[in-house]
Amino acid sequence: MLAHTQASQVHSETARAAAAALRGAQAAPSTLEGHLSRAPLRSFAAKEHVFTEGDARTNLYRLESGAVCLYKVMPDGRRQVLGFAYAGDLIGLGSSGEHQFNAQATKPAELRILPWSLVQRIARNDPEFGFKLYEAAAQELAAAHDLLLTTGQRTAMESLAAFLMAMARRGRRAKDGHVIIDLPMTRSDIGDFLGLTIETVSRTFTKLRQLRIIDLAQCTQVHVLDMDALEDLAQGESA
């Protein structure tokens, strides 16, 4: 679910669940997907919090539309964004107890809400499901490790290029062949994600534009003009 990692798994269940629904069977669903598809849907306004650090972990969420930013804050206000969630991503995984970070919609969002107690119940009855939960957590762990590589080792240019490469996987393709990336978050979110200031993020975007590697239609929409060059920059091929 965190950026910097490949697309999520899940979703293969959707068709099966839909088929079951058509058959009119209202038997209690057994898969996570089954539960989620009939879980209540709640809307959140931009900037509204889904949960905050210290809240009891009462629910597991799945984002249906919109985007959500996950972050931690230090006492003095410095902020580290841990990742962004997009449609299809699970939000709220973590060891039992309290939430250890904040989740805030960066644009209007809709989420399915599943009580955590139910999740635990399913896990107790379905060993396969417990293992799926584990794999979901492991995937997030891998994403966090990737992000560590960028905040710990990469330069501003490398970080931003890697970020854009990751976002490009979610992007669409314009008729002229260029990949178009919509950024559903502010420069501040990006900066706090990559461990940079908004000024540095902005300047680095400008530099990429001057290098004719990207084009900025609006500040929230990136056209990738030269994906190979971007890839090179992400891997550390100098300037």
The verdict on 6 binding its own copies (CB under 8 A) reads no
Q: Which of 116, 170, 186, 215 binds DNA (CB under 7 A)?
A: 186
CA atoms within 13 A on the CB side of 178: 17
Least distance from C-beta 219 to DNA, angstroms? 4
Beta bridge partners of 80: 72
SS3 (DSSP) at 210: helix
CB closer to its own copies, 42 vs 79: 79
Size of the site for DNA (CB under 7 A): 21
Which residues in 102-131 contact DNA (CB under 7 A)? none
Q: Which of 37, 133, 197, 229 binds DNA (CB under 7 A)?
A: 197
Q: What are phi and psi of 96, to 5 degrees?
A: -60, 160
Least distance from C-beta 139 to its own copies, angstroms? 5
Least distance from C-beta 185 to DNA, angstroms? 8
- Enter the DSSP assignment of 212: T
**For residues 181 and 171, is the Cβ–Cβ distance under 8 A?**
yes
The verdict on 187 binding DNA (CB under 7 A) reads yes
CB closer to its own copies, 103 vs 179: 103
Provide the 10 A C-beta neighbour count for residue 52: 13
The verdict on 188 binding DNA (CB under 7 A) reads yes
The verdict on 28 binding its own copies (CB under 8 A) reads no
Q: Which of 10, 107, 200, 225 binds DNA (CB under 7 A)?
A: 200
**For residues 181 and 167, is the Cβ–Cβ distance under 8 A?**
yes
Place of tokens 């699970």: 90
CB closer to its own copies, 147 vs 168: 147
Which residues in 140-179 contact its own copies (CB under 8 A)? 140-142, 144-145, 147-149, 151-153
CB closer to its own copies, 182 vs 237: 237
Distance between CA atoms of residues 181 and 225, nearest Å: 11
**For residues 36 and 62, is the Cβ–Cβ distance under 8 A?**
yes
Q: Which does residue 25 touch among DNA, its own copies, none (CB within 5 to 8 A, set by kind)?
A: none
Number of H helices, E strands in the chain: 8, 10
The verdict on 56 binding its own copies (CB under 8 A) reads no
**For residues 50 and 106, is the Cβ–Cβ distance under 8 A?**
no
**For residues 101 and 37, is the Cβ–Cβ distance under 8 A?**
no
What is the binding site for DNA (CB under 7 A)? Answer: 155-157, 186-188, 195-203, 205-206, 216, 218-220
